[in-house]
Amino acid sequence: MHMEKFQLWAEPWWVNLLILIPFATYFAFRRQGQLLNRRQLITIAIFACAFGFVEAAVVVYLRAAVGLLPGYTGTLSDLRNSLPGYEQATSISQFPPSLLAIEVYREAATMVMLISVTLLTVSRASARWAAFLWLFALWDIAYYAGLWATVRWPASLTDLDVLFLIPVPWIAQVWFPFLVSGLTLVAIAVSAGRNADAGYR
């Protein structure tokens, strides 16, 4: 199995600042009242996981359309076994301009959908920010889980990926978005737990 060498930094440099989000989230929400109740957290999580899989499926379809997924005309098992050297980050350079433009529009539409669900779920500004972070983090993890479940990518947390294309391509190894999203979920869950406990005192 091909393993990328571990890379500490994402590109461009400012993408690395995302690691501050979980810590800022915890310190911002730890002293506030309960921002999201259990029903809201579960409802958002269900949507995030379903939408993450849809995003993964779209990525698979786009790469198949460009001819970057050998074996996709066979069974799912054939597809999984034909991708040992597949590199997601380098494949973006092989996209035709038309599909690359569609990919950018898709990303923008994705953000609109995530923000819309947040606005529909809660009314307070601080609660909306917490809901958006919870939704985004779960959606991000579900996206990678969906890719792995279908095409067995990423094969390793050190695989390179294009995280976003807006305004320029964000390049990082898969461990980076996993770490940011995972810590963000922990920060919100711990804050919600502390606030819930405080409400019973």
Averages of pLDDT over each 10 residues, the chain, 201 residues: 78 96 88 78 95 93 80 76 61 78 92 95 87 96 94 89 92 96 93 54 39
pLDDT for 2 equals 53
| Chain Cα centroid distance, residue 94 | 22
Give residue 141's Cα distance to chain centre: 5
Cα 201 from Cα 197, distance rounded (Å): 7
Tokens in use for 193?
């737990």
122, 36 Cβ separation under 8 angstroms: yes
Report the pLDDT value the prediction gives residue 137, as an integer from 0 to 100.
Answer: 97
Which helix (H) or strand (E) segment is 153 a member of? Answer: none
Pairwise CA distance, residues 170 & 12, whole Å:
6
82: left (phi over 0), alpha (psi -120 to 50) or beta: alpha
The pLDDT, as a whole number, for residue 200 is 37
Tell me the whole-structure pTM to 2 decimals: 0.87
